[in-house]
Chain A
Amino acid sequence: MPHEDDSDWGVIDTAGTWVVGVGTGIAKVFVPLMVFSFMVGFMLRLSKMGMRIGRGEA
């Protein structure tokens, strides 16, 4: 129950709303963004490996 009319709890309520909101948002996007980051990192690793093999250094 929000305490918007209660001045004693207004700031705490707002702070809690932001903490919960930002935490929920990060939690929701954490796994998809990590997967995409893995994909990009792995793509870069494969690209570098391919270039090294192409140059005859491997």
Chain B
Amino acid sequence: MITLVDNWVRDNMLKVAKYRRDMNNLPDSPQKTELLNEFNDMLSDPLGLAAKTLKKEIEDIIPDDLIPDLGDAGLKFVRGLGGAVVDAGVGMYDSVAHRMSGKSTEIITSLTIATVTILTVVYLFNAAKSGKV
């Protein structure tokens, strides 16, 4: 295990040295300076450089106006949701009321039949169970 880590560290140090040598061999220019600075930054703060690179990549991929558009769409959805729920409830009420309009007597009859039947069945069951009327 220690040998493995040793090899990994040595390989990467060799790679770093090779990259630095290649960069030093470049002709002098502002790009070379910038490249060397980035390389040194990467060696001193690899996580920070990764975060910076990731942020830049995300900014390149996602257009600037997409996130506000997404926010607007979410707000519109939330604003419309309440009205849609109320409309759905009103429509359901209207539908039920329309179906039951003029049949209130039948509905009350059905409720009475159900209530009386259930109560009688329970009473008879208890009477038969206890043997007392």
Contact = CB atoms under 8 A, between A and B. Distances in A.
Interface of A: 2, 17-18, 20-22, 24-26, 28-29, 33, 36-37, 40-41, 43-44, 47-48
Contacts of B108: 17-18, 20-22, 25
A33 B117 contact: yes
A36 B106 CA distance: 24
Nearest to A30: B116
A28 B113 contact: yes
Interface of B: 102, 104-113, 116-117, 120-121, 124, 127-128, 131, 133
What's the dominant secondary structure at chain B's contact region?
helix
A25 B107 CA distance: 10
A25 B128 CA distance: 25
A24 to B, nearest CB: 4
A41 B103 CA distance: 37
16 contacts: A2-B102, A18-B108, A21-B106, A22-B109, A24-B112, A25-B110, A25-B112, A26-B116, A29-B117, A33-B117, A36-B120, A36-B124, A40-B124, A44-B128, A44-B133, A47-B131
B124 A17 contact: no
A33 B116 contact: yes
